[in-house]
A and B are shown apart, each in its own frame.
Chain A
Amino acid sequence: NAGVTQTPKFRVLKTGQSMTLLCAQDMNHEYMYWYRQDPGMGLRLIHYSVGEGTTAKGEVPDGYNVSRLKKQNFLLGLESAAPSQTSVYFCASSYRGQGIAGELFFGEGSRLTVL
C-alpha cells in the first residue's frame, strides 16, 4: 500500500539552485496537487492537475513549474530557489476533484530549506 510517495523527503539548497520534487501515486487517481505548508498559514495550493498532460495554477504558483507527463507522476520544479520557498511541500491526489465527495490522499511531505 504505497499510496502517495514523495521524493526526496529532505533537501537543502542554496539560493539560485534548481531542483525537482517527484510525486508518485499508485491509486490511478485523475487529480493531483502540490501544496506548501508554512507555520500558521495552513496549506496553500501551488499547482494542480486534473489529468495526464494538464496543469493549472493554484493560489501561490509563482516561482514553481509542474509537469504531468504520466498519470501516476506529478513533478514540482524550482528553477531558481529563493529563501521564501523554504517550506514543507505536500503532494496529494484524489479520484475526482475536491468536490462534494472528494477526499485527498497526501504524501508524507518534503522539507525544503533554501539558504
Chain B
Amino acid sequence: GDSVTQMEGPVTLSEEAFLTINCTYTATGYPSLFWYVQYPGEGLQLLLKATKADDKGSNKGFEATYRKETTSFHLEKGSVQVSDSAVYFCALNNAGNMLTFGGGTRLMVKP
C-alpha cells in the first residue's frame, strides 16, 4: 500500500538557518503530495501542496518540489524563525478518500 517516510526528529536549528525536512513516498500512479504543520496545542493545517510531477508548492517562505524520479517531496525554507517551531507532516493522496501521513518531524528553532 501507499506509505510516507519522513526523517526522524527533532530537528534543532538556530534562527535564520536553512531548513530541509526529507520526505519520500511509495505509491502507485500519480499521487498528490502535501505538507501539513501542527503548531503547539493546535490541529494540523495545510502548509503547501503539489498535484503533479515537477510542481513546486510554496507558502510562508516554505517550498517543496514534487520529484517523481526520486519519489520525494522535501520541505525547505531559507531562513527559519522561532515561530516556525512545530511538527511537520508529509502526506499523500492517491485518488482515494484517504490521506496517508508520515510520522511527523518536530522542528525546534532557537533564538
Report which A residues bind B (CB closer than 8 A).
4, 31, 40-45, 48, 50, 56, 58-59, 90, 92, 97-109
B residues 68-105 touching A (CB-CB < 8 Å): 89, 93, 95-99, 101-104
Q: Among the listed B41, B43, B95, B102, which residue makes an inter-chain contact with A42, where contact means beta carbons less than 8 Å apart?
A: B102
* Chain B nearest CB, measured from A92 CB (Å): 8
Q: Flag if A108 contacts B42 (CB, 8 Å).
A: yes
* Chain A nearest CB, measured from B27 CB (Å): 14
- Between A and B, 25 residue pairs with Cβ closer than 8 Å are A31-B97, A40-B8, A40-B103, A40-B104, A41-B103, A42-B4, A42-B102, A42-B103, A42-B104, A43-B89, A43-B101, A44-B101, A45-B99, A48-B97, A58-B98, A90-B43, A98-B96, A98-B97, A100-B32, A101-B51, A102-B93, A104-B46, A106-B43, A108-B41, A109-B42
Contact with A along B36-57 (1 / 0, CB 8 A): 1000011111100101000000
Q: Flag if A104 contacts B32 (CB, 8 Å).
A: no
Report which B residues bind A (CB closer than 8 A).
4, 8, 32, 36, 41-46, 49, 51, 89, 93, 95-99, 101-104
The distance in angstroms between the C-alpha atoms of A56 and B97, with both chains bound, is 10
Given known A-B contacts A58-B98, A98-B98, A42 and B93 have beta carbons under 8 A apart: no
By beta carbon, the residue of chain B nearest A90 is B43
The distance in angstroms between the C-alpha atoms of A22 and B20, with both chains bound, is 37
The secondary structure that dominates the A interface is loop
The distance in angstroms between the C-alpha atoms of A108 and B44, with both chains bound, is 8
Q: Flag if A43 contacts B44 (CB, 8 Å).
A: yes
By beta carbon, the residue of chain B nearest A35 is B101
The distance in angstroms between the C-alpha atoms of A101 and B57, with both chains bound, is 13
Q: Among the listed A42, A59, A99, which residue makes an inter-chain contact with B89, where contact means beta carbons less than 8 Å apart?
A: A42
